[in-house]
Amino acid sequence: RALLGFIGFAVTGYVLYKVIGEFKGSSTDYFVEVYNFMYGKLNSKYVFVYVLLALLTVVGGGSVGPEGPALVMGGFIAYLLAHRLRRTPLEDRYFTLIGGAAGISAVFRAPLTALSFGIEVPYRMDIESGIFVETLVACLTAYLVAVSITGPQPLLLLGSTVKLMPSPNDIVIGVIAGILSAILSTIMIWTKQASKHLSHVVVKHLGEKSIIVAGGVGVILSLMGLLLPGVSGAGTSEVEELVEMLKGSGHVERSPMDYMLTSTFKTIFTPLSLTLGGTGGIFFPIVAIGVMFGYGLSSLIGLKDLADIEALMAAMVAGLFAGTNKVVVSAILFSLEVVGFGGLIPSALAASTAYLLTINTGLIDSQLSYRSTAKVTALLEIYERLKEEKSVILEVPAEKVANKHVVSLHYRMTVANALKEIGDRLHIAYPVVDDYNRLMGYVELEDLLAMDPTSYVYEIMRPAPTTLPDVPLSTIIEYFARYGLERLFIIDYDGKLVGMLTKTDILKLLLEAYTREVIDR
């Protein structure tokens, strides 16, 4: 088994290194990145690699699931169709998302979850509402085709009745599950960020020899799977054992605490699988973590009623799904439609709680906070073209391109004095500084005009998004796109104001570079 783990991860890591250049194993992350930053143009080589290597990762003991390959394969088929029909780039992008959602619907036989996931997953705090009907039709069609071949049975149906009127137990279960799943989600996110950095360092310094490290990860996963069954692999067999036991038609030898320990380790090894040599998705691992942890927790807190145990397990799944993927509605539907436990109220509470507690972080790095405006869309399009050209403008540090001639206001100024200071130098926003020119926040002109002239500037200032002088322009562009920023303030390491950049400033810089390096060449 250890040998299979080494071979599986070493081969997968080698192919990822040769094709992609790094151990970038999350196909869901790649799909969202393509949708948000590349107009849905899925690379055929990447699609082939992600689909094929996901199977090899499972053989090697990786803690992964099939939704990532389903996303990229469904999206790629739809993209080819749109391209064949000679659609516009924007329509290509939408076709890719619709096809990805249809792929999820077919694999999980859960059309409502797939519909919701498709329109929620690109953004952390927004949805792609403009393609709701088209995505619904595609998901229902994919579902009908899938069930005509495999049957309509959900993957892990326990069959308890949905309770529309919450009991006190439901509320307590939902809140507890939400808090704990937020903690587990944070562990997964932090682990992914740390292992992603480690992966980058390993590949950079070892090159092809980094596959030895990937193989070592496969060995560790395989051995952990022997010590704690369920840590390696998708974890579906362990979940099925628990389901059969709760139905009364099976028996498990392991203790509830053993299941909690297994799920905790799986929380760590799932992101490791996706960043250190393996590839795939996280739907099945999330189900396994939520079910096993929920079962162990139910014993720890003394739950006896079967409906309460099932509700806790469902709520843990929903909370983890929302906390890691930033998709609240999908999380609730996923718990009810795919897992089938029936704990509607606890699942909704857990998903909402976990989402709110982890709102600023997520497992999918390429998610944006909000839908792009027309200006951001133009910014990203020019950015992608310059990136293809390897333009040097993208590596220019923020300090070199920032507008350093900004009108700053002292935080102790009255509104009346601030308006006098501004005079005819009208802008949308003004940085607020202290006696030492350290940035404290910013105010918008409309805030000043709306306030009592005797009010102080510090009473109405807003938190200022900041970056450092040596951060490259490419990173700053991604900040604007990902977090929906209108402006970014550059400060030095002492917190002193250096300058400011707006979307318009960056768009002008990129347009000049694009004209000079592409059009006029």
Mean pLDDT of 59-69: 81
Say whether both 350 and 456 belong to one domain. Answer: no
Q: How far is CA 199 from CA 7, 239, 269, 513, in A?
A: 18, 30, 14, 33
- Which residues lie below 8 Å from residue 225, measured CB to CB, with a gap of 6+? 1, 61, 231, 232, 233
* Same-domain pairing of 353 and 383: no
Does residue 233 or residue 103 have the better pLDDT?
Answer: 103
Q: Model confidence at 249, in pLDDT bands (50, 70, 90)?
A: low
Tell me which residue range forms the domain holding 451: 374-519
160 and 280 both lie in a single domain: yes
Q: Tell me if 312 is assigned to some domain.
A: yes
Q: Is residue 41 part of a domain?
A: yes
Q: Each residue of 477-507: b (16+ CB within 10 Å) or e?
A: bbbbbbebbebbbbbeeeeebbbbbbbebbb
Same domain for 147 and 283?
yes
Predicted pLDDT at 160: 52
Percentage of the chain surpassing pLDDT 90?
24
Same domain, 319 and 436: no
Question: How crowded is the C-beta side of 349, counted as CA atoms within 13 Å?
Answer: 20
Residue 487 domain flag: yes
Last residue of a domain, one of 323, 357, 391: 357
pLDDT at 115: 92
Q: How far is CA 101 from CA 35, 140, 274, 505, in A?
A: 12, 10, 21, 36
pLDDT of residue 340: 55
pLDDT at 521 over 70: no
Please say which residue of 329, 357, 385 terminates a domain.
357
DSSP 82-132: HHHTT--HHHHHHHHHHHHHHHHHHHHT-HHHHHHHHHHTTBSS---GGGH
**Token reading at 37:** 């930053």
Domain count, the chain: 2
Q: Which of 407, 450, 449 is nearest to 431 (CA)?
A: 407
Mean pLDDT of the chain: 85
Supply the pLDDT for residue 90. 66
Q: Are residues 178 and 326 in the same domain?
A: yes
The per-residue pLDDT for range 185-237, each reduced to its tens digit, is 999 999 999 998 898 888 888 888 888 888 888 888 888 888 888 888 888 78
Tell me: do 34 and 97 sit in the same domain. yes
Q: Is residue 431 domain-shared with residue 330, that is, in the same domain?
A: no
369 within some domain: no
Alpha-carbon distance of 323 to 317, in angstroms, equals: 10
- 377 CB burial (10 A radius; 0-12, 13-18, 19+): middle
Least confident segment among 22-26, 185-189, 447-451: 22-26
Strand partners, 488: 501
Q: What pLDDT score does 316 carry?
A: 92
Distance CA(419)–CA(431), nearest Å, equals: 13
Query: Is residue 483 over pLDDT 90?
Result: no
Per-residue pLDDT tens digits for 136-161: 999 999 999 988 887 765 555 555 55
pLDDT: which is higher, 442 or 230:
442
pLDDT value of residue 161: 52
pLDDT value at residue 336: 73
Q: Is 158 part of any domain?
A: yes
The values of phi and psi at residue 227, to 5°, are -70, -45
| Per-residue pLDDT tens over the stretch 391-439 | 888 888 988 888 888 899 999 999 999 998 888 788 889 999 999 999 9
> Does residue 232 sit in the same domain as residue 94?
yes
Three-class secondary structure of residue 433 per DSSP: strand
Sheet containing strand 439-444, strands side by side: 409-410, 429-433, 439-444
Give the pLDDT score at 188: 93
Looking at residue 184, what is its pLDDT?
Answer: 95
CATH number at residue 216: 1.10.3080.10
User: How far apart (Å, rounded) are the C-alpha atoms in residues 246 and 250?
Assistant: 8
β-sheet bridge partners, residue 496: 438
Does residue 141 form part of some domain?
A: yes
Q: Is there a single domain that holds both residue 422 and residue 302?
A: no
CA 225, distance to chain mean position in Å, is: 27
Res. 354 pLDDT band, cuts 50 70 90: very high
Q: Given strand 497-502, what is the order of strands in its sheet? A: 466-467, 487-491, 497-502
**Burial category of 423 from C-beta neighbours within 10 Å (exposed 0-12, middle 13-18, buried 19 and up):** exposed
Output DSSP code: residue 516: I
**How sure is the predictor about 520, in pLDDT bands with cuts at 50, 70 and 90?**
low
Pick the range with the lowest mean pLDDT from 62-66, 200-204, 215-219, 249-253. Answer: 249-253
- Residue 126 — pLDDT band, cuts 50, 70, 90? confident
Tell me, yes or no, whether 281 and 397 share the same domain.
no
| Three-state DSSP state, 413 | coil
Q: What is the pLDDT of residues 287-345, one digit of tens each?
A: 899 989 999 999 888 888 877 888 888 899 999 999 999 999 988 887 776 555 557 78
pLDDT at res. 346: 87
Q: Say which DSSP state 164 is in.
A: S
The share of the chain scoring above pLDDT 70, in percent, equals 93
Q: Given a cut of 70, is residue 375 above it in pLDDT?
A: no
> What 3 state SS string does 8-54 have?
HHHHHHHHHHHHCCCCCCEHHHHHHHHHHHCCCCCCHHHHHHHHHHH
366 part of a folded domain:
no
| Spatial distance between the Cα atoms of 273 and 279, rounded to a whole number of angstroms | 7
Specify the CATH number for the domain of residue 498. Answer: 3.10.580.10
Q: What pLDDT is attached to residue 57?
A: 85
Residue 255 sits in the same domain as residue 339: yes
363 within domain boundaries = no
Beta carbons of 411 and 458 less than 8 angstroms apart:
yes
What is the C-alpha separation between 271 and 63, in angstroms, rounded? 8
